[in-house]
Amino acid sequence: MARLLGAILAGGRATRFGSDKAAALLDGRRLIDHAIDALSPHVAAIAICGRIEDGQLCLPDRPGPDMGPLGGLNAALHHAQAHGFAGVLSTGCDMPFYPADLPALLIGERAAILDGQQLLGWWPAALAPELDAHLAEDNNRSIRGWLARIGARTVTLPGLVLPNINRPDDLAAIRRDRG
């Protein structure tokens, strides 16, 4: 089995959330800790992208700060390429769940994302120079533009509904649902 790097994309400003989303609590634990635990069984190592976390491999966004999720993904791809990882499985710091069967559906010859969750993806390490080129161009650095450029596949898991935590109300709804 190929060695995979897990990337927790955590460099966002969380403007809609209003505070540090990664540090928000669910079941008494930070969202970022849930994301780390959910992704860890599927990868050889975890990298936190765009944020400093004690005791974790932390990668600054590349080529610089405020690049959005693609800056974190770019840092993870370059780390993966430089350290012998086949590719990167990514998730957001606000994604406390990672379906066990998702990696098998995502991993392939080309990049893939989960339908409706653009940060839950598979990215072959060989894409690092292509993402450098994309970020160097005059564009809005949207993940949608990147996905179109590389022809990423979209994977669907029937019946799967994952929470999208953008506002405090979204987190409150998950807390209510979990009882």
CA distance 41 to 129: 28
What region does 102 belong to: left with phi over 0, alpha with psi -120 to 50, or beta?
Answer: alpha
Of 22, 41, 43, the closest CA to residue 33 belongs to 22
Task: Flag whether 121 is marked binding.
Answer: no
Strands (E), 27-167: 29-30, 45-49, 57-59, 87-92, 112-114, 117-124, 153-155
| Residue 178, phi then psi, degrees to nearest 5 | -85, -5
Task: Flag whether 9 is marked binding.
Answer: yes
Task: Flag whether 94 is marked binding.
Answer: yes
DSSP per position, 12-50: ---TTTSS-GGG-EETTEEHHHHHHHHHGGG-SEEEEES
**Count of residues in the chain:** 179
Task: Flag whether 61 is marked binding.
Answer: yes
Task: Flag whether 11 is marked binding.
Answer: yes
Q: Do 134 and 74 form a contact (C-beta atoms < 8 A)?
A: no
Binding residues for Mg(2+): 94
Binding residues: 9-11, 21, 61, 94
Binding residues for GTP: 9-11, 21, 61, 94
